[in-house]
Amino acid sequence: MLNIIIFGPPGSGKGTQSARIVEKYKLKHLSTGDLFREEMENNTPLGREVRKYIDTGHLVPDEIALRELYNRASKHMDSPGFIFDGFPRTIVQAEALDSMLEERGIPICLVISVEVAEEELFKRIMGRGEDSGRSDDNEKIVRRRLQVYKEQTMPLISYYKEQGKFVAINGMAPVDQVFAKICHAIDTYRESQKVIPVVE
Ligand code: AMP
C-alpha cells in the first residue's frame, strides 16, 4: 500500500494537490476537514459537536478526529493506498495513526510537506474565503488557525523527520510545478522500494 500524508499549514494547497495525487496514483483521499464539513452541512450530531471548534479556529479533540478517521479508513482497506490530508494534526494523532497502520503492516511511506510563507497563506485563505463560503475563512479565525498550526501541528515535522519520511516541497511555485515535484518524490520512493531480483 502506498500511504502518504500531505502536510502543510491551512492555505498551502494540500487539497488541490491531493485531488491530483488521487487521480494519478488512485489513492483513497481521507480529509478530516472535508469529513467534518460534510457533517456540519448535514447538521448531524457530530456536525453540531465539531462546529464549535471549527468555527473558532481550534482543533477538534483528538479522540473525535481519530475515531472518525478510523471509521472512514476501515471502509477502504482494499484501496491501493491512502492520502491523509489534514490528518494527523497533533503528535497524539500521529502516534495513534502509526500504531493503527503498523498493526496492519501498512505504515506511512512518505510525508510530503507543502511549504508556503505565512503572509502568502493568509492572503490565499482570505481570498478563498470570499468564494469558499467556509465559516472559518475570516481574518481573526485564520490567524488563530495559523497559530494552532504552529503550536500543535508543526511538532510533527521533527516527528516524521526522525522517521526519515519527511520531504519538503516549495509550495510557492505554480500548482503544476508543485505537483511535478510531489510526483517526483512519490516516484523516487516507489523506485527505491522495488525488489531487485538476485541474479545467481
Ligand atoms: P481543514 O479543512 O483540514 O483545514 O480543516 C478544517 C478544520 O477542521 C480545522 O481548522 C479543524 O478545526 C478541524 N480539523 C480537521 N482535521 C482535523 C484533525 N485532524 N484534528 C483536529 N481538528 C481537525
Separation between Cα atoms, residue 171 and residue 186, nearest integer Å = 16
Q: Does residue 145's CB lie within 6 angstroms of at least one atom of ligand 1?
A: yes
CATH number of the domain residue 182 falls in:
3.40.50.300
Does residue 107 sit in helix, strand or coil? coil
Evaluate whether 117 touches 172 at the Cβ level (below 8 Å).
yes
User: Mean pLDDT across the stretch 55-67?
Assistant: 97
Domain of residue 173: give its range: 4-199
Kindly report the protein residue whose alpha carbon is nearest to atom 2 of ligand 1.
33
Q: Does residue 86's CB lie within 6 angstroms of at least one atom of ligand 1?
A: yes
Tens digits of per-residue pLDDT, 67-98? 999 999 999 999 999 999 999 999 999 999 99
Tens digits of per-residue pLDDT, 5-33? 999 999 999 999 999 999 999 999 999 99
- List, by residue number, the catalytic residues: 14, 89, 128, 134, 145
Alpha helices per DSSP H over the chain: 14-25, 32-41, 45-54, 62-74, 91-103, 118-132, 139-148, 155-162, 175-193
What's the pLDDT at 140? Answer: 87
CA atoms within 13 A on the CB side of 118: 8
Residue to probe by mutation, ligand 1, list 54, 93, 125, 141, most atoms within 8 Å of CB: 54
pLDDT band for position 129 (50/70/90)? low
In the block, cell 523516487 appears at: 188
User: Mean pLDDT across the stretch 51-80?
Assistant: 95
Cell digits of residue 21: 495525487
Counted domains in the chain:
1
What's the pLDDT at 31? Answer: 97
